[in-house]
A = this chain, B = another copy of it.
Amino acid sequence: MNCEVVAVGTELLLGQIIDTNSSWIGEQLALAGIDSYYQTKVGDNLERIVASLQQAVDRSDAVIVCGGLGPTHDDITRNAIATVMGVELRRDDDVVAHIKQMFIKRGRHMPESNLSQADVPVGAQVMDVKPGTAPGLICPISAKSTGSGSGSAAGGQQKVLYAVPGVPWEMRKMISECVMPDLQRRAGHRQMIRSRTLRTWGFSESDLAERLDHEIRHLDSTGEATIAFLASGIEGLKLRITAKTDDDSNVNEIFESVEQRIRAVIGDAVFGIDDDTMESVVLEMMRSRGLTLGLAESVTGGLIAARLTAVAGASDVLRGAVVPYDRAVKTGVLGSPEVAAVSEEMALAMAAGVCRVLGTDVGLATTGAAGPQSHEGAEPGTVWIGLHFNDPAGESESESSRSSRSSGVSEAIEVRFTNMDRNTVRQLGVITALNLLRTRLMAAATR
């Protein structure tokens, strides 16, 4: 069983909206063990939507078309599906009632144009899941005139085309609650694709490939799994271990043994697996050690705080942040000395200062020049990261030194991101700062 995705919308071709829907659908298909070989974007043009859908139903067992089900004059996916099915559109009274009801519930006036959303190709089934006004459609496609597909669609068996709206949360609800179960039912028993992703930071793709060449050859020869590298830009490199299996029971064993062999080669560069992120890993390490964190973010301007607070429950660890964008805030709020804004001294003072002001165990600070201009003499791309551990356990300090202004252990590192834009410098600053904290916490644990 395979399924391809067609995303409809001129705005997607023009780059005015990034097609995250297809990516999300692709992930759901992979997780369900359904192969997906193509994704297509096509504009709001009837002839080309019809051509794309026809090609998709010809070469795949199932098709998901996303977008173009809205109420405006350029929403014509319904019409294209009717053409591919060789049927007419007919207004569906139940859908009309649902749309009217949605507007009444929201206490809003219903524009007449919204009723065009109730036009359904004859023979198509309306999905029970109705998060918005646009109905999702399950459209049987007669296989007689189509090409080969994957071969798993037995002779005479119908293919299927699902239509879902482009509004992400409506689309996701329909895919999860209706499309995926329907696809799984149609697929019957099949091989599952299972994968585990190792998240890494610090190596280039070719570096990893060379270091892991022995392991890759080993897996090629045994066939138990494959390894692929996925560059995730500022998020480092993902290393995906994939196995196809009829039987889930031994998959974890395979993954464990491959993961251990990889970790033996690239060590601490692996910061997490699967849904782990640098921020979730750091929060969990801090939480398990009972440590609280304060941030002083100048060049990263709140990005570290934003990433950490995106994780539910971050408040166990993160007490707060100060973004001292103006020098007066660095000195006034954090008590930083009158040193260069982008310097080792400033990074150290900010890290210790935020510990003191917010009363945390750990302070993490960034200061730098994101560009495009230099900042107080520092070249664009220069970032200083300061890290302060207040009174680290294991040191036997007197009570008086514990209460002094900057008791504890501080360090600062300088990184230079040359020839990069402002956003990339800031994002790399964020992940480098979090990775510094992560590696220091790991080193402390093994001391």
B41 x A38 contact (CB < 8 A) = yes
**A264 interfacial by beta-carbon distance below 8 Å:** no
Contact of A325 among B38, B303, B318, B426 (CB under 8 A): B318
- Interface membership of chain A positions 207-219, coded 1 if the CB is closer than 8 angstroms to chain B and 0 otherwise: 1011000001000
B12 x A16 contact (CB < 8 A) = no
Contacts of A140 in B (CB 8 A): none
In the bound assembly, the distance between CA atoms of A445 and B30 in angstroms comes to: 54
Output the least CB separation between A123 and chain B (Å). Answer: 27
B18 x A209 contact (CB < 8 A) = no
**A326 interfacial by beta-carbon distance below 8 Å:** yes
Contacts of A12 in B (CB 8 A): 23, 26, 39
Given contacts A15-B27, A16-B240, A209-B71, contact A321 B319 (CB under 8 A): no
**A230 interfacial by beta-carbon distance below 8 Å:** yes
- Interface membership of chain A positions 284-299, coded 1 if the CB is closer than 8 angstroms to chain B and 0 otherwise: 0000000000010100
A14 x B38 contact (CB < 8 A) = no
Q: Who on chain B is nearest to A40 by CB?
A: B40
B302 x A309 contact (CB < 8 A) = yes
In the bound assembly, the distance between CA atoms of A166 and B230 in angstroms comes to: 11
Contacts of A321 in B (CB 8 A): 302, 321-323, 325
- Residues facing B in A312-340 (CB within 8 A) are 312, 314-315, 318-326, 328-329, 332-333
**A45 interfacial by beta-carbon distance below 8 Å:** yes
Output the least CB separation between A357 and chain B (Å). Answer: 7
Number of copies: 2
**A167 interfacial by beta-carbon distance below 8 Å:** yes
Segment from A231-239, A245-253, A387-395 that makes contact with B:
A231-239
**A221 interfacial by beta-carbon distance below 8 Å:** no
In the bound assembly, the distance between CA atoms of A197 and B9 in angstroms comes to: 16
Q: Who on chain B is nearest to A294 by CB?
A: B329
Q: Who on chain B is nearest to A422 by CB?
A: B312
Q: Who on chain B is nearest to A292 by CB?
A: B326
Given contacts A209-B72, A326-B320, contact A26 B15 (CB under 8 A): yes
**A113 interfacial by beta-carbon distance below 8 Å:** yes
Contacts of A139 in B (CB 8 A): none
**A443 interfacial by beta-carbon distance below 8 Å:** no
Contacts of A397 in B (CB 8 A): none
A323 x B310 contact (CB < 8 A) = no
**A432 interfacial by beta-carbon distance below 8 Å:** no
A238 x B358 contact (CB < 8 A) = no
- Residues facing B in A8-29 (CB within 8 A) are 10-20, 22-28
In the bound assembly, the distance between CA atoms of A422 and B210 in angstroms comes to: 40
A310 x B423 contact (CB < 8 A) = yes
Contact of A111 among B111, B207, B303, B371 (CB under 8 A): B207
**A229 interfacial by beta-carbon distance below 8 Å:** yes
**A437 interfacial by beta-carbon distance below 8 Å:** no
User: What are 21 A-B pairs with beta-carbon distances under 8 A?
Assistant: A14-B36, A15-B24, A16-B230, A16-B232, A17-B232, A19-B19, A37-B42, A114-B206, A166-B231, A168-B233, A169-B424, A301-B306, A301-B309, A301-B310, A305-B306, A309-B325, A309-B370, A319-B328, A320-B326, A322-B333, A328-B359
Nearest 8 A-B pairs (CB), nearest first? A301-B309, A302-B305, A15-B27, A302-B302, A321-B323, A15-B23, A111-B210, A15-B26
Q: Apart from A18-B20, A70-B206, A74-B228, list 7 A-B contacts with CB within 8 A.
A: A16-B240, A40-B41, A71-B206, A166-B231, A297-B305, A310-B426, A320-B326
Residues of A within 8 A of B (CB): 10-20, 22-28, 30, 36-43, 45, 48, 52, 70-74, 111-114, 166-169, 197, 205-207, 209-210, 216, 228-233, 238, 240, 295, 297, 300-306, 308-310, 312, 314-315, 318-326, 328-329, 332-333, 357-359, 370-373, 420, 422-424, 426
